[in-house]
Amino acid sequence: MPSLTQLPWANSCVSACTKLCMAMRRVTVPLVAGLVVVVVVLSLLAEHCLADGGGLAERVIWAVNAGGEAHTDMHGIHFKKDPLEGKLGKASDYGVRLPILRSSPEDQILYQTERYNEDTFGYEVPIREEGDYILVLKYAEVYFAQSQQKVFDVRLNDHVVVKDLDIFERVGHSTAHDEIVPFSIRRGKLSVQGEVSTFNGKLTVEFVKGYYDNPKVCALYVMKGTLDDVPKLQPHPGLEKHEELEEEEEEESEAGEEGGKKSTSTAPKYRVQSGPRTPNPYAADNSSLMFPILVAFGVFIPTLFCLCRL
């Protein structure tokens, strides 16, 4: 009886099986490697999405709706009820009767309520971990209808981080405005806008009484991260060009004052504004100029009539 290897068809089967195994090995190795790469990429994308979206609320360590009740905004940030209620300053909901521009409808309450005080006041924020942080201050001018009516400073552990804040002068009436202040805490030191001081575990945010009316705040929060992590307000239509023209005029003015010499100042602009300034609606009011003209006409016409009769 012939052996299995002596049969022609058996040799063909063995050869085919060998080739098939070798082909499968060549295909399987890159296929497994490709699957591993896909799994790693998907894991990285998932982590990135959590960091950009779902992780935003988790990075906020403290948030308060000043003068108002607790509220969770569209980004998942939970603003607590104002802890100063009944203790310091006065709460106001005067702005609830007004729609707030640049803010989403569900989050307008963060700009419609506020806390103000007739003297300097503030909040204390406990911070236990080192790292980079962002302070976000939310504002809207819902009462005054012109600039130079409410002007005040903001201090962060005795560092002035916002100087001469005039909300109406920046964005106009009933319009959302965020002041964004980055700072860092490392080795027991607070660093903000180029200044350094000792940090004892508490961040004191103060609104400093100025010459014009009372300081206030609508809402505020502190989060870990950088400027790129802060949600941006909606754009203010038609005003971006106005801000560019103002910046060009300021640069030309500075160049003229220095006799055409290029400025050597390299001081960075730390304040990050939420949007461009709006023109003062009262700046173009010429009614005061028309009054004396009308009076002159009122006197001239009767006088001319009397002279004609003579």
Least confident of 4-8, 76-80, 120-124, 249-253: 4-8
Give which of 214, 125, 223, 227 is closest to 167, Cα–Cα: 214
Taking only the tens place, the pLDDT of each residue in 253-286 is: 666 656 554 444 444 444 444 444 444 443 444 4
Query: Tokens 């290029």 sit at which residue?
Result: 262
pLDDT, residue 288, reads 47
User: For residues 132 and 135, what is the distance between their CA atoms, to the nearest angstrom?
Assistant: 10
Residue 251 · residue 263 · CB < 8 Å: no
Residue 43's pLDDT band, with cuts at 50, 70 and 90, is: low
Residues of the chain with pLDDT > 70, as a percent, come to 59
Residue 190 · residue 27 · CB < 8 Å: no
Least confident of 50-59, 177-186, 238-247: 238-247
Between CA 198 and CA 159, with CA 207 as vertex, the angle to 5 degrees is 30
What tokens appear for 254 in the block? 């500075």
Query: What is each CA distance from 184 to 60, 163, 246, 280, in whole angstroms?
Result: 15, 20, 32, 36
User: For residues 218 and 208, what is the distance between their CA atoms, to the nearest angstrom?
Assistant: 15
What value does the mean pLDDT take over residues 160-166?
97
pLDDT at 21 over 50: yes
Average pLDDT, the chain: 79
pLDDT at 12 over 90: no
pLDDT at 190 over 80: yes
Q: How many other CB atoms are there within 10 angstroms of residue 201's CB atom?
A: 11
pLDDT at 68 over 80: yes
pLDDT at 91 over 70: yes
pLDDT, residue 160, reads 97
Give which of 227, 187, 216, 222 is closest to 203, Cα–Cα: 222
What value does the mean pLDDT take over residues 89-113?
95
What value does the mean pLDDT take over residues 198-223?
97
Measured on CA atoms in the order 154, 160, 162, 167, is the torsion positive or negative? positive
Q: Which amino acid is at 147?
A: S
Beta strands in 82-188 (DSSP E): 90-92, 114-116, 121-126, 131-139, 151-156, 159-165, 177-186
pLDDT at 219 over 80: yes
- Higher per-residue confidence, 15 vs 286: 15
Q: How many other CB atoms are there within 10 angstroms of residue 103's CB atom?
A: 24
pLDDT, residue 114, reads 97
What value does the mean pLDDT take over residues 34-57?
53
pTM comes to 0.65
Q: How many other CB atoms are there within 10 angstroms of residue 73's CB atom?
A: 21
pLDDT at 121 over 90: yes
Compute φ and ψ for 192, nearest 5 degrees: -150, 125
Compute φ and ψ for 182, nearest 5 degrees: -80, 145
